[in-house]
Structure 1
Amino acid sequence: MRKSLALFLLAAPAFAAPKPVVHWQVTNPPAKALKRGTKLNLTLTGQIDPGWHLYALEEPQGGPIATEINLAEGSPADLIRVEEQKPKIVPDPIYQLPTGFFEQSANFTLHLQLDKSASAHPIQILIRYQSCNDRVCLPPHTDTVDVPLTTN
């Protein structure tokens, strides 16, 4: 019994969730109170750990999971569209397809419009993505970035 418990405890870290390799932040949050119904742009930046890459918003069928950016249900804004910086497009060593990806950092511009009834709740940005290095891909997962918001 003790031997099997010890083996389980040694193996347990292998089943833990992988440490994120992309670190997200909004680089231009609103500095003042905004009027309800206002349009605004936010820049979402992902800092990517060395040796890893993040996939673009559009990827070929049969390729990696494309990055998706949405707002959480109940956010006080509507996402009109998302623009990305130009990705690097090269044959992916894992998928053997030309894929678009980012190394070191990725910038996305979110075009938003505040709801006419928006209150002082944060805008919650949901980023679902997959990151890979040249040998392995981490399972896709979703990160959340909260953007403080005050309205008048």
Structure 2
Amino acid sequence: MKKLILVIAVLFAAGAHAQILTPVHWSYGFKKTSATEAVIFMKATMDDGWHVYSQTVKEGGPIKTSFTFPVSKQYTLIGKTIEPKPITKFEKSFSMNVSFFENSVIFQQKIKLKPGIAKTTVKGKLEYMTCNDQKCLPPEDLDFSVDIK
């Protein structure tokens, strides 16, 4: 009897694990633009049919993509995180126009290194939501870091 319960539990756990969808894949990088400045790149690559939302989604819509960076003694942020021009369409599920990205998108954040700092690690957190034509997945929070050299 114990073996039967164990087998059922293992099959249930394997089935639950197989159903986890991860249609958005994030990668990170940087480019130094001078000895004291750099741009951090946060790239989302979406599986076919999926999209992520812009940082400018209005209240009442889906969860917008957002980036937060903790205060650092080694660098300061220059302006806000920027994004390319999104696609804007009416989505029935939200009863409003929403802005989003398909296939891939690169968000950019400029930083300025503080005097005497040649390399550092930029840490951040992003929140995003992804949907396709049939469903939306719950919002996800991801921590990330980029080593600036």
TM-score (norm 1): 0.76
Mark the runs of 5 or more structure 2 residues left unpaired by the alignment: none
From 51, 67, 70, the counterpart of 1:69 = 67
Partner in structure 1 of residue 23 of structure 2: 21
User: Are the aligned partners of 2:75 and 2:114 in contact in 1 as well (CA < 8 Å)?
Assistant: yes
Change (3 A) 1:91 1:116: same
Larger CA deviation: 141-150 vs 68-77: 68-77
More strand by share: 2
% of aligned pairs identical? Answer: 27
How far off its partner does 1:9 sit?
Answer: 3.6
Other-structure match for 2:38: 40
Alignment TM-score, normalising by the size of structure 2: 0.77
Whether the 8 Å CA contact 2:76–2:111 is kept in 1: the answer is: yes
Q: Runs of 5+ in structure 1 lacking a partner?
A: none
Partner Cα separation in structure 1 for residue 73 and residue 136 of structure 2:
31
Alignment match, 1:131: 130
Instruction: Give the C-alpha shift of residue 52 in structure 1.
Output: 0.6
1:51 aligns to 2:49 (yes or no): yes
Q: Counterparts of 1:139 and 1:76 in 2: how far apart (Å)?
A: 34
Q: How many residues align?
A: 146
CA distance in 2, matches of 1:75, 1:65: 31
